Amino acid sequence: MKILNLHLNNFRNYRETSISFSKSINIFIGDNAQGKTNILEAIHILATTKSFRSVKYENMLKHDENSFRIECEILKNDVFKKVKINYDLKNKLFFINDKKINKISDILGIINVSILCPEDIQIIKGDSHYRRRFIDIALCQLDKVYLINLIEYQKVLRNKNAVLKYIRIGRAKERELEPWNTQIIDISREIYSRRRDFLIDLNEKNKKTSFFLSGETENIEIKYIDDVLKGQTSDVEEYIKELKIKQKRVWGEEIKRGISLFGPHRDELKIEINGKNIKHIGSQGQQRTVAISLRLAEVECMYARSGEYPILLIDDIFSELDNKRKAYFMELLNRNTQMFLTGTRVDEFPTIFNQAATFKINQGSIDDYGK
């Protein structure tokens, strides 16, 4: 799968910009705050409908504008497609081949991406939201059933929380919670089992990538600490049984606090090195290496499940990699992976510069770098 070109209109600091890409390596060079990362962000939005910066769409509008457009052409399985998003302050519209798409589930999976960026350290050091987001974004690109169930779960959860708030102020009855709790338990079965299976794959791939990156024999393991079994067993029926028990146990507390206190939205991932939580004992260097390793394991999982490598976005970290890590990226290139990288100087890319399409970014303008 390749992205052939990209067009931006009133997105971030780009007024009107079109750019054609190499099917192999694309490097964007420029000082900080010139718009390099904005290009990667635009690709990520077309692929996942979300920014990897965790910002709202209105914050991505060019100053004094009230709409933006992002579009690209891709080549996937020898078929050309155009993917586009139009956003204004009222609507967010997606199109494939100029046909409006009404379901998010029909967008995700058209373009598969994985991104390595400085913020990935939050997968290790941040709260549980970052780790759930990490697996959710990967799975939503690869597994339509998971995506549909996750969207439905989030909708049911919002409705249940609304009922809980109405109960607190006397505008709803406690019995009105029952249908929402039933739906949460039903949907949780699919979310739990598919997260569990994905993490089995991720652990397997991560053993190889972490050894390749560090050359060490330390045992790195990602554990799924679900909301009720706490990782003690991976049996789905046991999970559902315990979920029903917890639902009854926290009923009163949920009403008192006005929020849902059981379900997959409270699950956690625990990343251990030699049996200890790396969040607490790992050095900064160890934590960054593990974060990179997890991303590369994600890339390999995507390939194993879809049969093709995802688009790889590498934002401002290539200069931090040693030669061994850079060699791994070169190996990915040998497997026909398209990459988009950002940096401030060309000497950050000594091994790949001559093979790349290189662009100079300056205050929202894009020019061929020239060699």
Task: Tell me the pLDDT of the chain (371 aa) as tens digits.
Answer: 999 999 999 999 999 999 999 999 999 999 999 999 999 999 999 999 999 987 899 999 999 999 999 999 999 988 999 999 999 999 999 999 999 999 988 999 999 999 999 999 999 999 999 999 999 999 999 999 999 999 999 999 999 999 999 999 999 999 999 999 999 999 999 999 999 999 999 999 998 888 777 766 678 889 999 999 888 878 999 999 999 999 999 999 999 999 999 999 999 999 998 888 998 887 887 888 889 889 999 999 999 999 999 999 999 887 777 777 777 767 766 677 899 999 999 888 877 888 899 999 999 999 998 65
Best CA proximity match to 73, nearest among 24, 4, 138: 4
pLDDT given for residue 337 in this prediction? 87
Structure tokens at 32: 């900080």
pLDDT given for residue 21 in this prediction? 97
pLDDT given for residue 116 in this prediction? 93
Q: Rounded to whole angstroms, how far apart are CA atoms 80 and 223?
A: 40
pLDDT given for residue 208 in this prediction? 83
Best CA proximity match to 134, nearest among 10, 269, 254, 331: 269
Structure tokens at 217: 């024999």
pLDDT given for residue 333 in this prediction? 63
Q: Rounded to whole angstroms, how far apart are CA atoms 236 and 269?
A: 17
Best CA proximity match to 38, nearest among 67, 65, 9, 66: 9
**β-sheet with 14-20: strand ranges across:** 14-20, 2-11, 67-76, 79-88, 92-96, 99-101
- What backbone phi and psi angles, to 5 degrees, belong to 361? -110, 125
pLDDT given for residue 370 in this prediction? 66
Cβ contact 314:39 at 8 Å: no
Give DSSP secondary structure letters for 129-143.
Answer: HHHHHHHHHHHHHH-
What b/e readout covers 125-157, taking b as 16+ CB neighbours within 10 angstroms?
beeeebbbbbbbbbbbbbbeebbbbbbebeebb
